[in-house]
Structure 1
Amino acid sequence: MIVSRLSRRALFAATASVAFAVALGSIPSKADDQDAAQAEWPQSYEASPHMTVGREATPILSPATVEATEAAIQKYQDIVTRGGWNTVPAGAELRVGSKSKAVEALRERLVASGDLDPVAGAGPVFDSFVEAAVQRFQARNGLSQTGVVNEATLTELNVPAAARLQQLETNIVRLKAYSGDLGARYVVANIPAASVETVENGVVYSHHAAGVGKIDRQSPIMQTKATEINFNPFWTVPPSLIKKDLIPKMKADPNYLTDEKIRIFNKDGQEVSPSSIDWNSNEATNFKYRQDTGADLNSLGFVRINISNPYGVYIHDTPSKGIFGDDFRFVSSGCIRVQDVRDYVAWLLKDTPGWGRDQIDAVIRSGDRVDVKLAQPVNVYWIYVTAWATPDGIVQFRPDVYQRDGSGPGPLASAVPAQPMALPQE
């Protein structure tokens, strides 16, 4: 078995060496007869299996993550001691078929951070080895795994090794703060990663992409419990959004509230017509605004998950499912929008009698307003971790969008300056 494994590895190395020798021109190829300006063809080789970034089963809040992150700190200290890594020059997007000095720099950069196998590390050609390495790098930095070096990927590539080391050293302190008993079943929402994971008996049960608070309407860091599920909920516009959003939209379009199925109620609970309110004054702040149920328009979608907290925030569904495919998901007013909400809710209600997946789907289809209390409240942690490592040696980084790492905003952050933590609802 050992001989077989070594033979396969030797065969891979030999095949890769030949392929790159052809690509680099040290062995004659048919490409030599073609136009010199034509880009090299894509190679069909796959990346080494040990370079793949898989779906992680180890919770981000766990002793194993702390241990792996400490090992990553040592690794990055060594990289910094050796001078860090080079930068990749800006220019046209790099992709399979590109051939340039920039690709040579890209290869060197990816080898330095462990994303490209050294056996495939040299040369000016962007082939499938480099594409797989770029995808690995993108996965480690929370970017769409396109394999193309666009502006966002280039920006992350050019973050200095010393800055990455500082990020790891800052976040190991945060990870250690959660070293106690977090519960047999719990939820972690990592705000910089815009992601949610459910954990059961020390293993990640499910991963969910999320939409979290904008830079000027930040999601708070907190420890709490999920206590209740609201199916087909109304959405009441929080006071903080009436001035910021609702009044300006009504000034621009008098039909806004009607189109969005938002009704106005006075202090006695009586419905009021939008035309009876002076939108150029503060009169509008004296009313309650409630959006009808219905996932197509309602800002909360099908489901709202209540969590005890003083900030007026919660986790919920959204009709805007497209956000979950974006790299930058800092889009809410403090609440967290979660992808695959039915799976998430089914897990929360696992120990609540009479609420299996069939019952959940049925009540959502009905459109009826139904509230369900969890038989056993589930611990919920909203955390701010921008760098960590996993036991397989993968080191993850995310942008410091709220400027809490002490090194300024992350590369993906917008130009909006950070504000003190807001306390709004979604």
Structure 2
Amino acid sequence: MTFSAKQTAILPAVLSMVLALPVPQASAQNILDMIFGGGRVHRYAPGEYERYGEFPPPPHPNRMVRPDGGWYPVQKHSRRPVEPAVQKPIEKITGPTYYTYKADPLVRVDFTALQAGAKSASLDSSPVTTEFREGLSGLAGFDLYAEKDVAAALVEYYKSNPEFIWVSDDAPTSRAQDAMRVLGNAGSFGLDESDYAVDVPSGLESADNASTRQREMMRFEMALSARVLRYVRDAQNGRVDPNRISGYHDFPAKPLNMVGVLRILGQTNDAQAYMESRHPQNAEFRALRAELEALNASIDDDIVVDPKLKLKPGQSSPEFPKLLRLIVRDHSDLLKDEYAPLVERLGQSEVYEQDLVPVIKAVQKKIGLKADGVIGTHTVLRLAGTPKADRLQKVIFALEEMRWLPADLGSTRVFINQPAFTATYIESDQEKLKMRVIIGRPENQTSFFYDEIKQVDYNPYWGVPQSIIVNEMLPRLRNDPGYLDRSGYEVTDAKGKRIPSSAVDWGQYGSKIPFNVRQIPSEANALGELKILFPNKHAIYMHDTPQKALFDRDSRAFSHGCIRLKDPRGMAAAVLGTDVEHIAKKLKAGHSSEKVTRDIPVYIAYFTAWPEANGKVEYFNDVYDRDGHLKLALDKVEAGRKSNM
């Protein structure tokens, strides 16, 4: 047995103690082993304790803890557990999935209750009510189909309010004409006009009798009310229910009192203003609508470049001259005297000459990409833009998605747009801070929802999600149970009691791990120096990261789902209403938390078309193919509506 210098220094005193012991069978070797560490007794090497965190040594050199508090034996003279005879298969935890969208089925409106009410002697005998009551017989055999809630509201309203909204003297009123104009203009809001089509009865002047006119106008009344309710419903909530698209979509219901809508329309003198007011009333929605109008009016002058083009200096492609034409058309300000003649001379060449590298780098820098002179997907997308047909579709999708959010986004807010890989802090409707972010990988997608920021944690612990414990840590822990101990993690049981990871038989667990794992604050902590919390069921938050180099990438989908911030101190200072000096002081003080005292909504959003602060709409790649899933949902809705037109 050998001793360290420190042990050698105190050895004489220890030997004196041993010789003075009254127990004759006690050996000096055993006593020294107990004091200095020998045989199977756990001991920490210099500096190892810090790597282990604050774990105490294992409770017994020959035992390993079970979840129920009992013990497993370990091999003699070893800290490694005995390999179990049979290890439970690892059942990986999967994330949310995309669903097969189910549209609301249309039902035939049952007018029986209205027709029965027409015979009630308790009905008012005013001229309007009498005219309405007499016209109800015209609903016999009328096949009007609508969404279930629309059909119910229709019957409920007219049962309590037996009078016309849209008809007077057997003719449509000016209010009806206003409503029809709004329905016919639905396309300007990104909706489909055919969903709200209503035929106005014609030739009634020559009808043989009054009953024919009454029948046709009653049917017009009901059809127009049904389509107006559909329009208002779509304008406020969207045509699809986002939560039926996937488990990544998470939005609260936006209640709509449809009976109240008809009541308002029956009293207002400006049906158009009321109906259009049901759309989102914010600057972003207006900018997207203006973009839709501009696209519809524009001439298709696209220069189409293969989005898969990849080119390094010296390589060639027939797509390269198109890219140079785009630079000349859209970025002529960069073609200074030294570059203009060069581009003109080489503009038709399919070879990416070395002389053109400074031009490509200058353009990449201008459009916000890494100026490396390599032409790839992001360079092509930002230069060639999105084809007009794709832009139109992206804007229509964005208008639909805007209806899932509150109509008023809040004058102070944090807006994260995943396809843009950006987070923006907005105060008093002015952009104050914008930064690059990292979002979830395609297999660990960041959800689409909104919440409210609550607090900032400094030097945070990272509570490892069960999915990461099972999918990524468990395979390694089976071969190396002490891995967590050495890497700065703490393991606790259901009661919060801390347990060395080396003392757990990880082989007996497949998918449900009865332990919690968290990483202690450190420079290597996955959350970096701070995190910004808005508690939600998806366990998503904003945070720092030690992997700073990833922010230089153009496509930044690398996380397990949370939002990594390039400037976490700046964002923390913004939401707390303070400065970065305050944040620096809090970080120096160690682990702590600070509440956000203002109401600040945060939008973890997903828009492939989105207006910048200046109102200009930018277009982005569909990182998770969510536009594709939205299109499938919209197609299902359209098919269902047209089947019963």
Fold-level match, TM-score > 0.5?
yes
Shift in CA distance, 92/175, structure 1 to aligned 2, threshold 3 Å: closer
**Deviations for 1:78-123, whole angstroms, at most 9, x for unmatched residues?**
66x646323259777256x9998644221234567x4557996855
CA distance in 2, matches of 1:90, 1:308: 40
Could you tell me whether the CA contact under 8 Å between 1:301 and 1:318 is conserved in 2? yes
User: Which residue does the alignment assign to 1:229?
Assistant: 456
Shift in CA distance, 89/172, structure 1 to aligned 2, threshold 3 Å: closer
**Deviations for 1:316-340, whole angstroms, at most 9, x for unmatched residues?**
1222222211222212222211121
User: Displacement, 1:71?
Assistant: 4.2
CA distance in 1, matches of 2:380, 2:452: 39
User: Displacement, 1:255?
Assistant: 4.9
User: Displacement, 1:256?
Assistant: 3.2
Match of 1:305 among 529, 532, 541: 532
Matches within 5 A, 1:179-194: 180-194=407-421
User: Which residue does the alignment assign to 2:447?
Assistant: 220
Aligned AA (1:233): P
SS in 1 for 2:558: strand
Aligned AA (1:399): N
User: Which residue does the alignment assign to 2:620?
Assistant: 398
Matches within 5 A, 1:213-292: 213-251=440-478, 253-282=480-509, 285-292=513-520
**Deviations for 1:34-59, whole angstroms, at most 9, x for unmatched residues?**
xxxxxxxxxxxxxxxxxxxxxxxxxx
User: Which residue does the alignment assign to 1:360?
Assistant: 583
Report the more deviating stretch, 235-244 or 358-367. 358-367
Match of 1:149 among 364, 370, 375: 375
User: Which residue does the alignment assign to 1:293?
Assistant: 521
Name which structure has the greater RCO, CA cutoff 8 Å, separation 6+. 1
Aligned AA (2:324): R
Aligned AA (1:69): L
CA distance in 1, matches of 2:437, 2:558: 10
**Deviations for 1:288-312, whole angstroms, at most 9, x for unmatched residues?**
1121112x11111111212032222
User: Displacement, 1:175?
Assistant: 3.9
**Deviations for 1:372-397, whole angstroms, at most 9, x for unmatched residues?**
11222311111111113447575422
Match of 1:85 among 286, 303, 307: 303
**Deviations for 1:159-196, whole angstroms, at most 9, x for unmatched residues?**
64422332233223334655732223111111112211
Could you tell me whether the CA contact under 8 Å between 2:386 and 2:619 is conserved in 1? no
Shift in CA distance, 127/69, structure 1 to aligned 2, threshold 3 Å: farther
User: Which residue does the alignment assign to 1:163?
Assistant: 390
Gaps of 5+ in 2: 1-279, 348-355, 632-645
Aligned AA (2:529): F
User: Displacement, 1:407?
Assistant: 7.3
**Deviations for 1:147-170, whole angstroms, at most 9, x for unmatched residues?**
542354346648644223322332
**Root mean square deviation of aligned Cα:** 3.6
User: Displacement, 1:258?
Assistant: 3.0
SS in 2 for 1:169: helix
User: Which residue does the alignment assign to 1:326?
Assistant: 553
SS in 2 for 1:405: helix
Aligned AA (2:467): S
- Rg larger in structure: 2
Shift in CA distance, 328/256, structure 1 to aligned 2, threshold 3 Å: farther
Match of 1:383 among 605, 611, 620: 605
Match of 2:593 among 346, 371, 385: 371
Shift in CA distance, 242/98, structure 1 to aligned 2, threshold 3 Å: closer
Shift in CA distance, 90/192, structure 1 to aligned 2, threshold 3 Å: closer
**Deviations for 1:328-355, whole angstroms, at most 9, x for unmatched residues?**
22122222111211111111111xxxx6
User: Which residue does the alignment assign to 1:38?
Assistant: none
Aligned AA (2:589): S
Could you tell me whether the CA contact under 8 Å between 2:436 and 2:565 is conserved in 1? yes
Could you tell me whether the CA contact under 8 Å between 1:72 and 1:393 is conserved in 2? no
SS in 2 for 1:280: helix
SS in 2 for 1:216: helix
Could you tell me whether the CA contact under 8 Å between 2:482 and 2:500 is conserved in 1? no
User: Which residue does the alignment assign to 2:259?
Assistant: none
Aligned AA (2:516): K
User: Displacement, 1:285?
Assistant: 0.9
Q: TM-score under structure 2 normalisation? A: 0.46
CA distance in 1, matches of 2:468, 2:562: 13
User: Displacement, 1:261?
Assistant: 0.3
Could you tell me whether the CA contact under 8 Å between 1:260 and 1:297 is conserved in 2? no
**Deviations for 1:237-273, whole angstroms, at most 9, x for unmatched residues?**
1222211111123246555313420121223333222
CA distance in 2, matches of 1:347, 1:333: 25
Report the more deviating stretch, 340-349 or 328-337. 328-337
SS in 2 for 1:267: coil
User: Displacement, 1:203?
Assistant: 0.7
Gaps of 5+ in 1: 1-60, 410-426
Could you tell me whether the CA contact under 8 Å between 2:431 and 2:613 is conserved in 1? no
User: Which residue does the alignment assign to 2:400?
Assistant: 173
Shift in CA distance, 372/278, structure 1 to aligned 2, threshold 3 Å: same
User: Which residue does the alignment assign to 2:429?
Assistant: 202
More helix as a share of residues = 2
User: Which residue does the alignment assign to 2:325?
Assistant: 108
CA distance in 1, matches of 2:474, 2:296: 52
* Count of aligned pairs between the two proteins: 336
> Identity rate of aligned residues, in percent?
26
Aligned AA (2:288): T
Shift in CA distance, 258/179, structure 1 to aligned 2, threshold 3 Å: closer
CA distance in 1, matches of 2:414, 2:307: 41
Shift in CA distance, 404/101, structure 1 to aligned 2, threshold 3 Å: closer
Could you tell me whether the CA contact under 8 Å between 1:266 and 1:288 is conserved in 2? yes
Aligned AA (2:323): L
SS in 2 for 1:286: coil
CA distance in 1, matches of 2:497, 2:334: 71
CA distance in 1, matches of 2:307, 2:408: 47
CA distance in 1, matches of 2:548, 2:290: 37
More strand as a share of residues = 1
**Deviations for 1:388-417, whole angstroms, at most 9, x for unmatched residues?**
3447575422221221112799xxxxxxxx
Could you tell me whether the CA contact under 8 Å between 1:64 and 1:390 is conserved in 2? no
CA distance in 2, matches of 1:299, 1:90: 34
Shift in CA distance, 404/245, structure 1 to aligned 2, threshold 3 Å: same
CA distance in 2, matches of 1:286, 1:73: 53
